Amino acid sequence: MFKICFITFFFLLSGDFAILLKSGLTFRQALAYNLASAIISYLGLVLGIIIGDIHSAHTWVLALTAGMFLYISLVDMVSNVAHLMFLKHFS
């Protein structure tokens, strides 16, 4: 079981690390960003556990999460549509 967990962790870590290196970061920068991402994930876990015990927070957490998903998807979609319209207009 430990081998499977280690292999999965290694491939996930190396995939993120490869993307960071491919984007132009140095080895140390990519390592620092990957470590920061891992630390922030654990902070999110602790915050989620704390908020999960508060019954009245469920509605707010769900609303905030849905709003963030909508915002991110719409911003991505609108920027792509604007880019396509720009290309269509000037080509």
Residue 26's region, left for phi above 0, alpha for psi from -120 to 50, else beta, is beta
Cα-based distances in Å from 64 to 1, 32, 47: 36, 29, 14
Instruction: Determine the pLDDT at residue 43.
Output: 92
Tens-digit pLDDT profile for the chain (91 aa)?
Answer: 666 666 666 656 667 777 888 888 888 898 888 888 888 989 988 988 888 888 888 888 889 889 999 988 888 788 777 777 777 777 6
